[in-house]
Amino acid sequence: MVQALDCFKAYDIRGRVPEQLNADVAYRIGRAFAAHLKPKSVVVGFDIRLTSQELCAALSRGLTDGGADVTNIGQCGTEEIYFATSHLGYDGGIMVTASHNPADYNGMKFVREGSLPVSADTGLLAIKDLAEKNEFAKPALQGAIDFADLRGAYLAKLLSFVEVDKLKPLKIVCNAGNGGAGATIDMLEPLLPFEIIRVHHEPDGHFPNGVPNPMLEENRAPTTAAILEHKADLGIAWDGDFDRCFFFDENGRFIEGYYLVGLLAQVFLDAEPGAKIVHDPRLTWNTQEIVAAAGGKAIQSMTGHAYMKESLRADKAVYGGEMSAHHYFRDFYYSDSGMVPWLLVTALMAARGKRLSQLVDERMQAFPASGEINRTIANPEALLAATRARYESAAIAVENVDGLSMRFDAWRFNLRLSNTEPVVRLNVESRGDEALMREKTAELLDLMSQA
């Protein structure tokens, strides 16, 4: 009898352990990955969750029984798997992680050669089908497992994005959320002119201070408090597998990821005038204006790492950013990193001689935004139809690139169904009119409450 595996999602695997994901399922996923992609070599790693090492071992057995050689780089961040796959020239990479999900969850993220993502559109459903059937032929050769430490090469790659001798001394609060970022920060600190203030630094899969998800407002207070207590220059917080990073200015204010996309776009356009920049459709005006003013080309992509990476590669863009704090870099194998962004921001602060607040305040005033608001809606399709009917006659433009986007003279919004959670996400922005932005946000939330 075929066992349905509901831990497979659009981009990756996420499931509760052991009900949805366990050692048996992980082994079958390894066999299926090997059977579908037929890799000769695969690099694997795992995050700090209590079940990650066990799942990684079972996954590795499945890969080797499928004929692939496996290199285990140990506890790491997701971006280290992207790095290792391309740096070593391997045929694939798998990270065992559930990022910011609750402690009783785990999951996996997959790439193939060149750190190309494997998602529902590019092989994940085929792997799911094979894992569910669990009917595998005996391979001609048994693969082997070895272990490698690539941290030195990984750190060198990170530092290649900045000129270290031009960085200025800064006091930085780093909140790893008891996830995996702390180990990388410890290795970087001696190489940089920064004083690091550590918050929730030690990796702990019990998550004693809550799941590492700085998108949740209740998780931001410790970072803000440490910035104010230590009179720090800025703060940075990460999710569990640190492929996303979040910024706080010297006043402890959380900076929406939207404004970091524009800031990082400016960094690359300063270095490469006319470069292409990829952005998601949720909030767009600030990024588009910055890119246009610098003579670059802004390219809109659907939300999600698989789509963003595809756009970057297809258009040979230098950088892509999502307001959810995923930042993608051509020179990081077209992959996302949670370490490269903060290094670039500190370099920009040094080059401009400005604080983070000074770098973003003008843009926040020019394009005030609601930040992403999530609501669980019983009938999301009906909500989208009702919203379109309410606003379509007054809209200058209507897009369906990713959910429903509507643009008016002085404001715009995007309303979309999440690809990873059972929620609808709303984003609203205006042209220099915070009161209008708040008014329209309240109006749309009222409409959502009636759905």
Q: Which residues are catalytic?
A: 99
- Crossing angle of helices 257-271/356-366, nearest 10°? 110
CA-CA distance, 210 to 74, in Å (whole number)? Answer: 24
CA-CA distance, 398 to 60, in Å (whole number)? Answer: 47
Radius of gyration of the chain (CA): 22
CA-CA distance, 57 to 355, in Å (whole number)? Answer: 45
Whether 105 and 6 have beta carbons less than 8 Å apart is answered as: no
Structure tokens at 391: 């606003």
Which DSSP string corresponds to 66-107? TT-EEEEEEE--HHHHHHHHHHTT-SEEEEE--TTS-TTEEE
Structure tokens at 183: 């180990």
Residues 6+ apart with CB under 8 A from 176: 182, 185, 198, 199, 200, 201, 203, 212, 237, 238, 242
Q: Tell me the torsion sign for CA atoms 346, 99, 41, 113.
A: negative
DSSP letter for 158, please. Answer: H
Compute the CA torsion angle 304, 309, 311, 315 (nearest 10 deg): 160
CA-CA distance, 52 to 97, in Å (whole number)? Answer: 7
Q: How many CB atoms lie within 10 A of CB 419?
A: 17
| Residue ranges in 88-220 assigned as alpha helix (H) | 124-133, 151-159, 181-188
Peptide bond into 18 cis (omega under 30): yes
| Residue ranges in 18-123 assigned as alpha helix (H) | 23-37, 52-65, 78-87
Structure tokens at 343: 């290094």
Structure tokens at 127: 């792997």
Which of 336, 16, 49, 418 lies closest to 211 in space, CA to CA?
A: 49
